[in-house]
Amino acid sequence: MKILEVKSLSIPEVKVIRFARFLDNRGYFSEHFRKSDLKRHPDASSVFQNIEFLQMNESFSRPGVVRGLHFQWNPFMGKLVRTLSGHMIDIFLDIRKGSPTCGKAAMYDMPADLTRDFSEWIWVPPGFAHGNFFEDEGLIEYLCSGEYSQGCEAGISPLAPDIDWSLCDKLLKSSFDSALSGDFIMTDKDRDGFTLRDWEKDLRSDNFIYGKC
């Protein structure tokens, strides 16, 4: 895995890992994951040194789909996500009590462009609610640092009026708002998820304390 760059986003615990593709007249080859490289790279080692990926998921979404914002405890689950085909815009929301960015959400644009000499993962660590939306259809995969645990998960609705979007890229937020004003597709479970205020009143929110998750 040839790591080209590890960069922090507007909420610095969320990272983007850019890795190389090797192009020729046949197409390209890429080694998109190697655990030892993540643990040795100077800008990634502090993040991934104690992370083990235990589960891998794949998800296909049609245009107009909005997913999230999901999180899990017991065990905590961080997600390393990439777009395989199509176009995904990733959404992350800090739910760590005491965090300087608690309640703030942002997005990252992740189109799949097969002509580029690189691709990217986004790392959304434990303590964040995660989701995505799709203006076009998209196929994504994600590696999880915890196995799915039924009964130890919850979600904050992407429609919650008390989410703070001030750190979000304005063009991406505008695209998101346009999607929500049209015929978007969302499960009732996601639509009816917690608001931030209601989640903070829930005793289970104490699982997510800044510096402890």
pLDDT, block means (10 residues), the chain with 213 residues: 96 98 96 95 93 97 96 97 98 98 98 96 98 96 97 97 98 94 94 97 97 90
Give the pLDDT score at 121: 98
Give the pLDDT score at 41: 94
Give the pLDDT score at 26: 96
Q: Catalytic site residue 210?
A: no
Q: Which of 28, 32, 70, 148 is catalytic?
A: 70
| Contact in structure between 137 and 144 (CB atoms under 8 Å) | no
175: nearest Cα among 128, 110, 121: 110
Q: Which of 87, 108, 130, 142 is catalytic?
A: 142
Domain ranges of the chain: 3-207
Q: Is the pTM of this model over 0.85?
A: yes
Q: Catalytic site residue 70?
A: yes
Tally Cβ neighbours within 10 Å of residue 144. 18
| Contact in structure between 148 and 79 (CB atoms under 8 Å) | no
Of 2.60.120.10, 3.40.640.10, 3.40.50.720, 1.10.150.120, the CATH number of 3-207 is 2.60.120.10
CA 120, CA 6: separation in Å to the nearest integer?
10
